[in-house]
Amino acid sequence: MIARDNDMAASGMSEIGIVLYPGAQMAAVHGLTDLFGVAARIALDRRSGRLPLRVTHWQPAHSRDAELYCVHDSEPGGKQRPGILIIPPTMVNLPDPDIPAGVVSWLRDKHAAGATLVSVCSGTFILAKTGLADGRAVATHQICREALAARFPQIVVDTNLRIIDHGDIVTAGGFLAWVDVGLFLVGRILGPAVKAETARFVLSDPASSDARHFVGFPPPQSHRDKAVLKAQAWVHMRDGRGVSLAAMAAMAGLERRTFLRRFANATGMTPLEYCRRVRIARARELLISGDTPQKMIAESLGYSDVASFARVFRKATGAAPGAYRKRFGIPAGEFVPKSSSLQTRRKLPLPEPGLAAE
């Protein structure tokens, strides 16, 4: 990893490329682009000179075998040479098994030339197709685990870790993993101080009147209670579904009463409220970036029916699910789902009493 990073830094600017493969989640693409832009400005304010970070987007040509070409450059001028390539997630569907050969061969060539490949959640399917992850452990979202392991038995799927860094290959999974990846890369390229300031900027509550409509739920993680952090990570891996107070306490390794006290002190919320906010954030993502029926979203998140889901969603956001999708959904054409992965996803058990989905 040191050699790769030094190669990138030789020109005085690090370039991060984002791969726009068919079905890629555009919300993650734009979010990462903005996050890196914020980090670059923060770093520039700390020292004079040029922006230290360049972000490019790479898209396949019409021919399935053709190489990718650059469709966006935050710092136009000069040859694009991304030292890091991010493979973003999809939103609802898993990536099409028939991945364009040009995408696969291009990623292999860039990796051979020294680029670090970074996959986020379901983007790991694209990475696995290159064969570069064979024999390695990879992170992904829990809902991708079974399909990924079945399609690529030569890799080791690990959903217990949010980020697995092999140096030349980095994989990430979990709730809003693209934020984790973005901050991870900012810290590695621009240092811990810029990472911390970027995190404060990106994860702070928006000051606009639409603050409660934003998809992101910045989980309180600045506390140092490792037991509570472990329980939080477990909840996020499951999108707040099928959890119970007893299971959360067991995951934290604490007695129930002790866990309740420490969780409230660390997060400012009860476990019930925390899980509800995680589920609502996931529901927002599904409503924004696809056409998954509300009934399917409700069932996947553990709600007994659409009416219960709609009541909780309206209370949390101030808008009915349908109205929220109409207002904030990605325009038609940017994301066209073929069939919802929720239809084939293994159903998790409904929450036990005490953490029921209201």
CA distances from 336 to 1, 21, 77, 140 (A): 37, 13, 33, 22
d(CA 70, CA 86): 14
* Confidence tier at 292 by pLDDT (50, 70, 90): confident
Q: How far apart are CA 190 and CA 52, in angstroms?
A: 8
Residues whose CB falls within 8 Å of the CB of residue 75, separated by 6 or more in sequence, listed in order = 13, 51, 54
Nearest-CA neighbor of 55 among 90, 14, 4, 26?
14
Give the whole-angstrom CA distance, residue 330 versus residue 332.
7
- Which percentage of the chain shows pLDDT scores above 90? 40
Measured distance CA(268)–CA(112) in Å, rounded? 47
| 125/101 Cα distance (integer angstroms) | 14
- Please give the pLDDT value at position 10: 42
pLDDT at position 214 over 90 = no
Mean pLDDT lowest for which of 169-178, 296-305, 321-330?
Answer: 321-330
d(CA 264, CA 277): 14
Cα 105 from Cα 86, distance rounded (Å): 15
- Residue at token pair 């790769």: 4
Residue 216: per-residue pLDDT = 55
Q: Indicate the pTM of the whole model.
A: 0.59
pLDDT tens digits along 132-170 = 999 999 999 877 888 999 999 999 998 878 899 999 999
Has residue 270 got a pLDDT over 80?
Answer: yes
- pLDDT(210) > 50: no
Least confident of 144-148, 170-174, 203-207: 203-207
